Each structure stands twice: as structure tokens, then as C-alpha cells.
Amino acid sequence: MIRFTKAALFFLLLILVSVPAIAQDDTPAPTIEGEASAASPSPLFSFGALSAGIVMIAAAYGISRIGSSAVESMARQPEVAATIQVAMLITAALIEGATFFALIVCWLAG
């Protein structure tokens, strides 16, 4: 329960920090003629990059848990190793698909 509470507080903090970045106006500041304007990246770009990093970390953690559980199961019951391996590969592929979808969403949001 404590882990869930910490995770919920982390995501609440992440949402509260991102709200001012989303609410900013996208109109550029007026510049003096002849002066080069320095183009700074949008705060949404950094939020998209942060979200993509979180997605990749979560996917790597999920696939590593699948791998460790599968190897442990194969060690306990070697006669069903082929079945466990197929199930592990299918589950890892599904996680990769969801990861790619989340990365595309993060890229489009940024």
C-alpha cells in the first residue's frame, strides 16, 4: 500500500508540474528589427521527452520481470520450458507494441 501511495503522489506531482507548461501561450515574444531571435524549445517538448523516458523505463522493467519469472519457472519445471518460452515471447511482444504506441503519443505531444 505504501508503494502505491508513493507512486500516486509521484504522478500527481508530475501532473501538477506539467500544467503550467501546457497552459503557456505559444505566441513568440516581439523582437527588435535586425535582432536575431533565439528560438527556445517549447516546455511541452521537454515534457514529451520526460514521458518517453518514463515509458522506456517502465517497459524495460516489465520485460525484465517477465524474463526473470520465465527463467525461474523453467528451472522449476524443465518439461514445460518450451511453452513458457513461447508465452514469454508473446507477452514481451505485446509490451513492446504498447511501448511503441506510447512513444508515438509522447512524440506527437512534444
Assigned domain for 27 exists: no
Report the chain's terminal Cα–Cα distance, integer Å.
33
Q: What is the pTM of this model?
A: 0.56
Domain count, the chain: 1
3-class DSSP state of 37: coil
The CATH number assigned to the domain holding 98 equals: 1.20.20.10
Enter the C-alpha cell of residue 63.
520485460
What are the helix (H) ranges across the chain?
Answer: 2-23, 43-76, 81-109
38 vs 32: CA distance, rounded Å: 12
Q: 3-state DSSP call for residue 41?
A: coil
Residue 36 in domain: no
**Could you tell me the pLDDT band of residue 34, with boundaries at 50, 70 and 90?**
low
Each residue's pLDDT tens digit, 1-20: 778 788 777 777 767 666 56
Q: Is residue 67 part of a domain?
A: yes
pLDDT band at 104 (very low <50, low <70, confident <90, very high): confident
In this predicted structure, the answer to whether residue 52 has a pLDDT above a threshold of 60 is: yes
Please give the residue range of the domain that contains residue 96: 42-110
Query: Does 55 reside within a domain?
Result: yes
Q: CB of 29 within 8 A of CB of 95?
A: no
- Say if 13 falls within a structural domain: no
Residue 72: exposure state from Cβ atoms within 10 A (0-12, 13-18, ≥19): exposed
